[in-house]
Every structure is written in C-alpha cells, then in structure tokens.
A and B are shown apart, each in its own frame.
Chain A
C-alpha cells in the first residue's frame, strides 16, 4: 500500500502540471489565432534567406 504514498502525489502533480500548462497557453495567447497556425505551414519560404 505504501506505493500509494508515491503514486497519488505523482498523479496530482501531473494533473497540476497539465493545468499549469493550459493556463500558461491561455495567457500567452496560444489560442488567439487557431486558423492562422493551420495555414502558416503552407507558406513557401523559398524566396527568403
């Protein structure tokens, strides 16, 4: 049973990390331009350095 003492905090930490990542993504504007990101991959960059 002592494994629980390790696994439960681990599960919580991972959950918190995910939550933190989502909050960061929202704050830094990752969801601002969803269609743009999908389109940018198609931009040709041949005429650039």
Chain B
C-alpha cells in the first residue's frame, strides 16, 4: 500500500542527525507523481526519506543538513515538478478547532448510541427496578459525555452572555443543561421520564453541523494554502565569500544584496546593482506592461522579475516597504466585514426569546392550572427540548457544506459559510483587470508564426525552463495539442535562453538580441530566427461570465491600477464601465461609496494593490494566481484559466440561501406541529427523540439536493432560471 521504502544512499551514511523540510508541490496530480517524487527524492544522496501528502500537495523530506532546501527544490525540478518551501501555514490554525469538534462529536456519538440502547429498553416497557438501573447507567454515561461534548456550546454561550448578547448557543446550552438537570432529578427520585437520550442526541446533531462547518473551512483553506507561497517570502542573499544563502523576508535588512532569478518575486524594496531585466509590477500597481529595469533603478517588494537574473541592493525591508503600507490599509478595511451577522445568528435572535418565553409561559400556565412545580417544570423542559434548534443548527451548515463541496469540484474554494451568505446578496461586481480578467501571465500572441515542425521543438525547449515566457509558451503549445520533440544536450544559460541539439541541428530558444517593445523570444533552428511575441490575453470566457452575471441582475465594472487608456480599451471591448489609474486607497474609497449607496459589491482581484479592496468589499474572490495577500484577504479563490467560477459562485450561493430558507420553513412547520403537543404535556422522551431525528434528517436530505443543482452545468447557461 505504501510507496517503496527508500534505499539509504550507500555512499553517504545517513545518521540520526537528519533534519526535516517540507515543500509544496502543486503539480502532483496522480499516483504516478507520488511514486516519482518519493522514489526520485529517495535516490538523492543525503535524503533519508521522502513522504508525499497528496491531499495537501506536500512532500516531507528527511535529509542530512549538508543538503540544502534549494538542492532539494532543484532535484524536484529535475523530476519535473515545481516546488516551493512550505512555510508555516498561515491559515492552518483552524485545524486544531476541527479536531476538537471531531473529538467532541465522537464522544457524543458514543454516548448517544449507548444511551439510546438503554432508552429503547425503557420505552419498550422495562419496569420499576430495571428502569431505575437503566436510568442510573444512562446518567453515568450522559453526565461526562455532556460535560465533554457540550463544551464548545457552553463556552460560546458564556462568552455571548458575558457581552450581554445572545446567540444560537444560549438556547442550546440552557436546553441541554435543564434537560440534564431534570433527568438527574428523575433518576434520583425514580421517576418515569429521563431525557438523557434527548440531550445527548441534541448535542450530537448540533456538533455534526459544527464539524461540517469547520471541515468546509479547513478543506478550502488547505487548498488555498497550497497555492500560496509563490510570492517573495525570502531571497537569496549574496554572502561576502560570493556564495548565496536563502534568507526569510522578515530577516532581510537594508544593505544586503539579493540575487533575484527570473520568475522570482522581490521580497524587499531595493535598487538594481547589476544586470538589465524586465520587471512586472502588475501585482503591485495593476500596470500590465512590463518595464525594463537596469542599474540604479528602484524596484519594490511584490514586483516580479521576468527577464534576467539581477543583483539588487536592499533599501527597505519588512515593515518599511511599499507593500507594508498596503497591508496597513487592508487591516483597516477588513474591520467593516466583522460587523456582518450570520443568518443563523439572525434567526436565533428571534428564535431564542420566542422559545424561552414559550417555555416560561407553559410553566406559568400549568402552575395556574393547578399542577405542581415539578409537573410544570417537566413540561417546560419538554417544550425546550422539542423546540431546541436541532434542525436549525443543521439547516445552515448542511446546505453550505454541500454547496461548497460542489463549488470546489468546479474550481472555486470558499473559505467559510458566511462568504456564501454574503455572495448571495451581491448586486454589483467590480473586477481588477491584470491577472483577474486577463490570465496574468504572458502567452504567445499568435502561435501561427510557428509551423508544424517548429512547434515540437519549441515545446521541448520551453518546458525545460522555469522562465515565465517559457512556461507561457509551453502551456499554449500543450493546449494546442503539441507533443514535445526528443532533444539532446538540453541546456539553460541564465539570461540567455535554452539551447539543444535535434537530429544533428542546433536549436535554441533565446531572448531577442535587440531590445523589443513588448515581451518576445526567438526560436532558432539552424540559424533561422522566428520571433514569438507575447501578450497577456483575456481569460477565454470573460464575456460569457459577465453575461451570466448580468442575467442574475449583477452589474459589472472594472477598477484597475493600469493606465486609463488600456483599461478603457478593455472596458469597451467587454461593454462594461471601466475606471483606470486607481491607487489601492482610491479603490477602497470607491467601494465605500457604493456601500453607502446600499450596494453589495463583489470584488474580484489578484494584485497586492487589490488587497485593501478585497478586504473591504462586501464579499471578494481572488484567482489562484493571485498574490498571497489577496488570497488571504479574499473570501474565495478560483483556480484555473476560466472566469466562469465567479458567476457560478453567485448562482450557487443564491441557490444555497434558497435551500437554507426552505430548511428554516421546515423547522418552523415542525415546531408549529410539535410545540402544542409539548405545551399540553403529550411529549414523552420517545416522541422527543423521534421528532428530533426526523426533522434533522429532513433538513439534511433537503440540503443534499444542492449537490445536483450546483453540478448541473459549468457554463452557467441556466443561470437566468
């Protein structure tokens, strides 16, 4: 079942002083990749073991300290996989929370099953002594189980009460505690009705809802975390002896000299010392045209080096960079979002007082009717248990988990349920241009310049390099169905290009000799030059997506930091309003204006300059190629080249809210039927148990219908329906 145990390299005795490093390898897609990575790495001298975690797209490598992390990334590249150091996952804190809830769920499930076993015997007529014994055993199981499994609810309810507020957990906690207390009293006095099964079952169903909610969050977040980390989290710093060493971004200091390779993002602001290159600043400013940079030019953290390796002297690092200003803006913008009230909490604001007054009124009613305190209290507790929001607690998470799961299959990762609720309310969408409406990576403007013989050569040359232009070319050729040619002596010269031999001919993919206006490369076959120009094309289905959004009553617009003319051209092409030349603060102001007019705005953006807007918008989505900052600020991330997941997300979010409302109505109808029974004292523990499970099953079943609704079509053709 496991991949083969790696051989220990014979020439390098692997002693006990191995260190562990972890890498993200997003390219692993199949069993073959697991085997390839594990076997390939294990064959490297100095590597003791390599273990792939396929779900997280990570590989853990145990190796001797002499082997650096860069060496391993190199080895992975030779195996055909791009890898990055895995940083501590900034989104991984939820993991512990999920585990805590899962443990509570397991304990509640254990308790529920055993108590139910005893309860069924009681219901089917166990008499005096046996019943008393069964009640005692139930109590012995129930009390510790409730104490353990109920903690998430009790602590949250306490927290709410401390701030003089109420949430869903307050009625739950009161119901569970009262039911347990009354049942204990029944047990001690030898009464007939103990609600231990009801109380524990309630916890079990509610915990199931919470676990679903938490799992949805952590699954999406680990998906996003595996996309993170392509942006300068550190740099190779040139040491006095000429060697280079990897230094984390936080520990970079002014005066250090960084060696920035092609395709790498800058981790600090700096000044170019040596080398001429092309810099892509679209992440930072939204500008789409790369600009040249040479000695003396200032470049900033977050910009990406597209051309040749350069040496850059750090002028400002960490908190002093232009990036850090954007981070501060984002912090302020994110605070408005925390005022949003989840739908379940809205419901409980009406529900909790209603339930409590009902229970209290029935208590008073029975007292007035001449029943004893004990009898009246039994009935009040029955009312509380039967109304306890079991179905309500499941209504929202069940629907949202199903929707999030369906969306994940279509390439959209939703971070939490509240994002789905906010997405459903959207009535206006604003897009960034570069990297959002466009792919954000260079692609050949016209593959037609390459004939059928040249394409396999170009692909074989391009796929050997990590340079952004090579990657774009390789991707485009692969999409066109090209198979790579078999080359000999493939070599890469940094800053020049790729060279190789093909059936006795010299072939090469190199940068043009003269400086050109845009980005381009030359393919050389035996001295014959073919120039391939590059552009940043629009995503293939932008037009359809905007139409699909319009069909849902959502107006689209563009806000970009790129030059006004470029943005206006795209706006005209797509037939939507477009504003260019915006700074991050201006984008944020614009969102504030729209919000003040009562609009709920969906922001879609990728760059660092979109970060504040993403954090400040009613809801936001970022593409998978976005900067780390944007992916963390956004509520959802979509992967792939297609733009349609954005429209699909809105459609599914609306369908989800429809189902949630249906679920609420069902819960209300159930209450209308069950509450009178409880008030007039007809509810026994048996009826409570049956009613509770039946309503929960109904709600979960209804939510499952969403999987089909979301899965119907990817193009969103029926979105108007």
Contact = CB atoms under 8 A, between A and B. Distances in A.
Interface stretch (B106-114, B343-351, B422-430, B439-447): B106-114
B294 to A, nearest CB: 47
Contacts of A11: 114, 117
A30 to B, nearest CB: 12
Contacts of A39: 30-31, 34, 54
A23 interface: yes
B453 interface: no
A11 B134 CA distance: 13
A19 B4 contact: no
B53 interface: yes
B30 to A, nearest CB: 7
B31 A43 contact: yes
A36 B53 contact: yes
Interface string A29-43: 000111111011111
A37 to B, nearest CB: 7
A32 B54 CA distance: 9
B54 A35 contact: yes
Interface string A12-49: 10011011001100100000111111011111110011
A3 interface: no
Nearest to B107: A19
A22 B106 contact: yes
B569 interface: no
B496 interface: no
Interface string B42-76: 00000000001111100000000000000000000
Contacts of B31: 39-43
Contacts of A4: 130
Interface in B22-43: 30-32, 34-35
Given A1-B130, A33-B55, A40-B31, A23 B106 contact: yes
A33 B110 contact: no
A20 to B, nearest CB: 10
B34 A43 contact: yes
B114 A32 contact: no
A1 to B, nearest CB: 7
A1 B4 CA distance: 55
B4 A45 contact: yes
A26 B102 CA distance: 9
**By DSSP majority rule, is chain B's interface helix, strand, loop, or mixed?**
helix
B1 interface: yes
A43 B35 contact: yes
B55 A34 contact: yes
A5 to B, nearest CB: 10
A31 B540 CA distance: 38
A36 B102 contact: no
A1 B35 CA distance: 58
A42 B34 CA distance: 10
B103 interface: yes
Contacts of B35: 43-44
Given A12-B114, A15-B110, A40 B53 contact: no
B4 A37 contact: no
Contacts of A40: 1-3, 31, 34, 54
A44 to B, nearest CB: 7
B55 A35 contact: yes
Nearest to B38: A43
B151 interface: no
A19 B106 contact: yes
Nearest to A5: B133
Contacts of A41: 1, 31
B56 A33 contact: yes
B29 to A, nearest CB: 10
A48 B107 CA distance: 44
Nearest to A8: B137
B207 to A, nearest CB: 14
Interface in B588-646: none
Contacts of A32: 53, 55-56
Interface string B435-475: 00000000000000000000000000000000000000000
A18 B55 contact: no
A1 B102 CA distance: 37
B34 A36 contact: yes
Contact of A15 (B52, B102, B114, B137): B114
Contacts of A12: 114, 141
A33 B718 CA distance: 36
A41 B30 CA distance: 11
B39 to A, nearest CB: 8
Interface of B: 1-4, 30-32, 34-35, 52-56, 99, 102-103, 106-107, 110, 113-114, 117-118, 130, 137, 141
Given A33-B54, A43-B35, 19 more contacts: A4-B130, A11-B114, A11-B117, A15-B110, A15-B114, A19-B106, A19-B110, A22-B106, A32-B55, A33-B52, A36-B34, A37-B1, A39-B31, A40-B31, A40-B34, A42-B32, A43-B31, A44-B35, A45-B3
Interface of A: 1, 4, 8, 11-12, 15-16, 18-19, 22-23, 26, 32-37, 39-45, 48-49
24 contacts: A4-B130, A11-B117, A12-B141, A15-B113, A15-B114, A16-B110, A26-B99, A33-B54, A35-B55, A36-B54, A36-B55, A39-B31, A39-B34, A39-B54, A40-B2, A40-B3, A40-B31, A40-B34, A41-B1, A41-B31, A43-B3, A44-B35, A45-B3, A49-B4
